[in-house]
Amino acid sequence: MSKYIEQIKKLVELQEIDSEMIKLKQRLVDAPRHLETLQASLDDLEGQIEQVKERLDLLNQQKDKLQKDISDDSHKVKKSKNKLMMVSNTKEYHAMMREMDNLEKLNRFREEEMTNLTEDIQVHQEKMEDLTTESASVKEELAISQSTLDSEMEKINKRINQLEKSRKKACSNVPVPILARYNFIKDRLNNPVIVSVKRGVCTGCYISIPPQSFIEIQKGEQILSCPNCQRLIFWEEHFSAES
């Protein structure tokens, strides 16, 4: 039994090394990907800012033109009022009154248009402020991430090198046939490779172990595999008894 327990312990130790290496190698992939995500987000925000800026420029041009039209119409109304004092007959008087009425109606329409235009400009200005604030935040996060990435990558690679040395040492303590089984499973299944059996259930796939297999694993004579997920399994009670 003690030889069996010792082999399980060595495999669990090996798995702990492999688990940390998997996480670190995944971090090597994820960290640059995070930068790519931030850069894509920043590019999108800058694109939106440019679109809003173009819209604001157009709205302000429309506002300037509308203000000029309103001003010109006001002058025309004023001139028409002055001319009205100089008309000599009823026909001219009614013609001038119709002209003034049309100008005043046009001015009222333009005033309403100006109100709507001003509100639209306000909405776009607020959107521009929100986008600019968000863009500044992403830029700051991107700068911080870029500045720390190289240092983090260096530390991760250093730790991986240390773990690779530890793994070689751990592998040398595991019998070759058992190590071959371990590596075969590791290359084909998601981590973990070796798991405990609790209350007759494999903690790798959470399927009940068949009664005969469970009897065999309780004997603690050889390292068995789960009939369902093929992971290496051990009975947790053996280690409870040890402790």
Domain ranges for the chain, please list them: 24-171, 177-242
Mean pLDDT of the chain: 89
Strand, coil or helix: 231? coil
pLDDT in tens, 145-190: 888 888 889 999 999 999 999 999 999 989 999 999 999 999 998 8
Q: Which of 114, 111, 133, 110 is nearest to 122 (CA)?
A: 114
Residue 6 has pLDDT above 70, yes or no: yes
SS3 sequence of 70-102: HHHHHHHHHHHHHHHCCCCCHHHHHHHHHHHHH
With a CB cutoff of 8 Å and minimum separation 6, the contacts of 179 are 171
Percent of the chain with pLDDT over 70: 93
pLDDT on residue 243: 47
Please state which CATH number belongs to domain 24-171: 1.10.287.1490
pLDDT on residue 102: 80
